[in-house]
Amino acid sequence: MSEAKVYTNVKNVRNATAVQNKKTVYKNVLASPFILKWPNIHTDLGQTILTQLLKTLTPLGNYRKECKLIKKKNKKSPSTAIPKPDDLHDRVHVGINQVTRFMEAYIEKKQTNTNPVDRTPVIYICKREIKPLQLCQHLLYMAALAQIKIVPMPAEAESKMSQALGIKRACVVAVEIMENKEESLRLSAQDIPCIDAPWLTNALQQPVVYRSDTIKTLKTTGPPPKQKQQQQLKRKNQEDQEATSKKIKV
């Protein structure tokens, strides 16, 4: 025998009764073929990628801290010059806007085959911390168009990435990986599945193929049938009919 649930809070009682009174409604919805799915990554693989990414980004954070200290010293007595950044500084793009601009330029250069061959761009995104998710949804489509792998990072990765970079927030980071320098990131990126966009490959490479519609059945809840109101309307209609019939007889 299953035990009955006992609700002591008034809100819970109201919610439970409201759910019981609602009726189940099935609606047919057309599925869109243009919706892309985020790649699924195992937890262990996500943690290893995060540790490798933090090792790569930490020198950039140290460089930012060093530049801030030099600028403070130069305000009092300008004596030391700011050192030149490493080449990694030009190959790392941080933030949704900066990554979007990089992707736009990368897609344009890809059409003319002017992108550097020795670089493999990979996007690392903390989509769990981005609310609403529509702010970064366009990066998924741009990555599919550019044939670039996008890596959803594990939970609480944004704070660690921002600490490594020495900034407040870093929800999206794109790294142009080079073979001889970021070898660990390049090897781990090979285990990331590519974005499946069959409609895009058909439009760019293959002839257009007709695809049938996909209908999904959505199970939702609707308002309860208003039996009392229906009975009252029936009674009123009957009374009106009886009243009209009496008038006609008279």
| Dist CA 51 CA 42 (whole Å) | 15
pLDDT of 21 reads: 65
CA distances from 199 to 28, 98, 104 (A): 23, 27, 20
Given a cut of 50, the residues of the chain with pLDDT beneath it are 1-2, 4-13
Whole-model pTM above 0.85? Answer: no
Q: 132 preceded by cis ω (within 30°)?
A: yes
pLDDT of 237 reads: 82
| Dist CA 53 CA 152 (whole Å) | 13
In CATH terms, is domain 43-66+91-110+119-203 a member of 1.10.10.350? Answer: no
Cβ-count burial of 19 within 10 angstroms (0-12 exposed, 13-18 middle, 19+ buried)?
exposed
220-228 long-range contacts (CB < 8 A, ≥24 apart) are: 220/24, 220/25, 220/26, 220/27, 221/19, 221/22, 221/23, 221/24, 221/25, 222/22, 222/23, 222/24, 222/25, 223/22, 223/23, 224/21, 224/22, 224/23, 225/23
DSSP annotation of 250: -
Domain map (residue ranges) of the chain: 43-66+91-110+119-203
193-214 pLDDT per residue, tens: 888 887 776 666 656 666 677 7
Kind and range of the H or E run holding 114: none
